[in-house]
């Protein structure tokens, strides 16, 4: 039954601003995350949550952290490069050499341990200077800035990196930017959001084409957060709402780079809402040529919806909690699923269904670049972390992998969130995800010592047995 091949990429993920710290070291500029004060939800400041300035201090601990990944048996490590280490403001003509050097060192360390780097070019940490000029809404500025940055990375690391991802969770930035940094303004799920959406697509298309000219052997993919959307009932109106939601939440972020353009239903939606998106013909032509090699996707949960009602409120959720869209769908609770202590629904079968749906629509190799459980871990006086709940969550998802592969889906790796503890996007360091515990609290930085959690030893066994021993 287990058809997982020997070269399956078992590993885990992090992102630069959530793990590195060293926010102002070695010429690094300010990102939108550095100027955000810890946890907040627009209009609701959560003051008891840390900022990202020190995070897990991976910048100074990367050798130790990578050694721990190697000890777990990682075949791959998915991480992102911090744009402001390379281009502090985003507009410089020459990169910051110290930043470039840091990632050379990190990559060398991975290569030394035979861990395949899966590199995300951009993960939520836009240079703040660019944001102040309109960020992703300012097409003229941002497309060039992103391309110059991507070009530097492609040239610098061409002998070290085979797998690139363009932008982490473009869909979450477009739909929930206000949750990811208070610097992201004007995100309204309307005109401005869709202009951002298009500008990001142009930037990604150009980067995809550029990579092929610099390194023919490299592979590149997009990395959205994909949750298959279920209808709450079998009422045709609910099924239609689910179809709409799948399109708006998931597929429109992949379509341009596989199908070569925008879905008619999306174009109709823009028209009905009188959104006038500035799109040039030559930009649409890019999508005909800029093809991805694989789809990286982050999966935490499924989502359920029903037909929209007239009096629906805009539901303030977060990246996994669902949302409403006028005349399209209304978020609904799935009573068949349990939720994590942070309210995220847990749905391992949804993982299989999501993988199948991606395969059906795109027929490309796919890789999981995030999946995991945020929880409040406890460090015991013996230095242990008994995170059985995390093992249970991961086991139930890993159990699906042989089934997914047997379904004919080209799944080539599993990289859950997160390799080590890091600071959550908007819920602090207490919401932990790692296999390795980092000894700090929201405000007390303690000694930053690393401790192996129970899930560390469990995942080590899973990898060593190539997914056969998941007990
Ligand atoms: C994904 C992001 O949305 O979910 C990560 O790519 C993030 O950056 C992860 O940390 C978990 O979400 P959160 O909000 O619990 O940190």
Distance in angstroms (rounded) separating the CA atoms of residues 10 and 467: 9
Tokens of 197: 């959406």
User: In the prediction, which pLDDT does 279 show?
Assistant: 98
Distance of CA 234 from the midpoint of ligand 1 (Å): 31
pLDDT of residue 19: 98
Residue 458 contacts residue 79 (beta carbons within 8 Å): no
pTM of this prediction exceeds 0.75: yes
Q: How far apart are CA 293 and CA 456, in angstroms?
A: 31
Q: pLDDT digits over 248-271, tens only?
A: 999 999 999 999 999 999 999 999
- Picking from 118, 134, 33, the residue whose alpha carbon sits closest to that of residue 81 is 118
DSSP annotation of 440? -
Ligand 1 centroid–CA 31 distance in Å is 17
Cβ(396)–Cβ(345) under 8 Å? Answer: no
Q: What angle do CA 112, 121, 295 make, to 5 degrees?
A: 90
279 CA distance to ligand 1 middle (Å): 30
**Please, what CATH class does the domain formed by 9-464 belong to?**
alpha beta
For residue 270, how many other CB atoms are within 10 A of its CB? Answer: 16
Residue identifier of the C-alpha nearest atom 11 of ligand 1: 424
Q: Are strands 219-223 and 436-438 parallel, antiparallel or unpaired?
A: unpaired
pLDDT in tens, 1-15: 578 999 999 999 999
> Among 101, 189, 195, which residue's Cα sits nearest to residue 142?
195
What pLDDT score was predicted for residue 132? 92
The token duo for 89 is 């403001």
- Quote the pLDDT of residue 256: 98
List, in sequence order, the alpha helices (H) in 331-382. 348-362
Strands 338-339 and 411-414: unpaired
Give me the phi and psi of 200, to 5 degrees please: -65, -35
Is 426's C-beta closer than 6 angstroms to any atom of ligand 1? yes
Q: Which atom from ligand 1 is nearest to the alpha carbon of 372?
A: 11
- Judge if the beta carbon of residue 125 lies within 6 A of ligand 1: no
Tell me whether strands 366-370 and 294-298 are parallel, antiparallel or unpaired: parallel
Report residue 415 CA to chain centroid gap: 11
CA of 314 to the centre of ligand 1 (A): 22
Residue whose CB lies within 8 A of the most ligand 1 atoms, among 417, 427, 433, for a mutation test = 417
Closest atom, ligand 1, to C-alpha of 300: 4
Whether ligand 1 lies within 6 angstroms of the CB of 431 is answered as yes
From residue 300, how far is each of 78, 225, 226, 428 by CA, in Å? Answer: 16, 8, 8, 18
210: exposed, middle or buried (Cβ count in 10 Å: 0-12, 13-18, 19+): middle
370: annotated active-site residue = yes
Q: Which of residues 44 and 276 earns the better pLDDT score?
A: 276
User: CA 206 → CA 94, 188, 209, distances in Å?
Assistant: 20, 26, 5
Give the C-alpha separation, 286 to 455, whole Å.
44
3-state secondary structure of 101: helix
pLDDT-derived band at 41, boundaries 50, 70, 90: very low
With a 6 Å cutoff on the Cβ, whether 330 touches ligand 1 is: no
Going by C-beta distance under 8 Å and a sequence separation of 6 or more, which residues neighbour residue 426? 39, 40, 41, 46, 49, 179, 180, 318
Rounded to 5, what percent of the chain is helix, strand, coil?
40, 15, 45
Does ligand 1 have an atom closer than 6 angstroms to the CB of 432? no
User: In whole angstroms, what is the distance from residue 394 CA to residue 377 CA?
Assistant: 16
Q: Is the CB of 427 under 6 A from ligand 1?
A: yes
Q: Which atom of ligand 1 is nearest to the CA of 124?
A: 8
For 105-152, write each residue's pLDDT tens digit: 999 999 999 999 999 999 999 999 999 999 999 999 999 999 999 999
CB of 225 closer than 6 A to ligand 1? yes
Res. 188 pLDDT band, cuts 50 70 90: low
How does residue 183 score in pLDDT terms, banded at 50, 70 and 90?
low
Residue whose structure tokens are 């992949």 = 254
In 3D space, the residue among 70, 73, 60, 63 whose CA is nearest the CA of residue 6 turns out to be 73
Q: Is the minimum distance from the CB of 370 to ligand 1 under 6 angstroms?
A: yes
Q: Give the mean model confidence (pLDDT) for residues 86-107.
A: 98
- How far is the centre of ligand 1, averaged over its atoms, from the C-alpha of 424 (Å)? 6
Closest CA to 92 of 142, 145, 143, 138: 145
Q: Which of 132, 370, 382, 442 is catalytic?
A: 370
Distance from residue 425's CA to the centre of ligand 1 (Å): 5
């Amino acid at each position: 039954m287990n058809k997982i091949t020997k070269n399956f990429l078992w590993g885990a993920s992090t992102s630069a601003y959530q793990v590195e710290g060293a926010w102002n070291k070695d010429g690094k500029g300010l990102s939108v995350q550095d100027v955000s004060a810890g946890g907040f939800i627009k209009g609701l400041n959560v003051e008891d949550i840390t900022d990202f300035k020190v995070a897990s201090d991976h910048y100074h601990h990367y050798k130790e952290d990578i050694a721990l990944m190697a000890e777990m048996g990682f075949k791959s490590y998915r991480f992102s490069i911090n744009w402001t280490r390379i281009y502090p403001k985003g507009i410089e003509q020459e990169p910051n050499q110290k930043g470039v050097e840091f990632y050379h060192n990190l990559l060398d360390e991975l290569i030394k341990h035979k861990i395949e780097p899966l590199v995300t070019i951009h993960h939520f940490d836009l240079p703040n200077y660019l944001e102040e000029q309109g960020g992703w809404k300012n097409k003229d500025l941002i497309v060039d800035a992103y391309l110059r940055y991507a070009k530097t990375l492609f040239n610098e690391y061409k002998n070290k990196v085979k797998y690139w991802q363009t932008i982490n969770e473009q869909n979450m930035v477009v739909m929930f930017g206000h949750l990811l940094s208070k610097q992201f303004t004007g995100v309204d799920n309307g005109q401005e959001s869709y202009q951002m959406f298009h500008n990001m697509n142009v930037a990604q298309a150009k980067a995809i084409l550029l990579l092929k000219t610099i390194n023919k052997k490299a592979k590149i993919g997009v990395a959205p957060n994909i949750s298959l959307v279920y209808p709450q009932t079998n009422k045709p109106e609910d099924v239609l709402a689910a179809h709409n939601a799948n399109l708006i939440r998931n597929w429109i972020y992949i379509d341009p780079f596989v199908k070569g353009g925008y879905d008619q239903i999306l174009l109709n939606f823009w028209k009905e809402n009188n959104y006038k998106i500035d799109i040039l013909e030559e930009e649409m032509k890019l999508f005909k040529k800029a093809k991805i090699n694989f789809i990286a996707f982050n999966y935490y949960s499924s989502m359920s919806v029903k037909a929209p009602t007239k009096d629906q409120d805009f539901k303030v959720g977060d990246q996994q909690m669902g949302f409403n869209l006028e005349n399209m769908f209304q978020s609904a609770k799935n009573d068949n699923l349990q939720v994590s202590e942070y309210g995220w629904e847990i749905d391992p079968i949804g993982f299989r269904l999501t993988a199948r749906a991606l395969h059906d629509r795109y027929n490309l190799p796919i890789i999981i670049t995030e999946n995991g459980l945020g929880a409040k871990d406890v460090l015991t006086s013996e230095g242990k972390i008994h995170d059985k709940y995390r093992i249970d969550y991961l086991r139930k998802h890993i159990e699906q992998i042989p089934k997914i592969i047997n379904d004919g889906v080209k799944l080539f790796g599993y990289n859950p969130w997160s390799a080590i503890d890091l600071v959550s996007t908007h819920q602090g360091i207490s919401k932990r995800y790692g296999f390795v515990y980092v000894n700090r609290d929201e405000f007390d930085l303690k000694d930053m010592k690393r401790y192996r959690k129970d899930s560390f030893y469990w995942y080590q066994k899973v990898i060593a047995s190539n997914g056969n021993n998941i007990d």
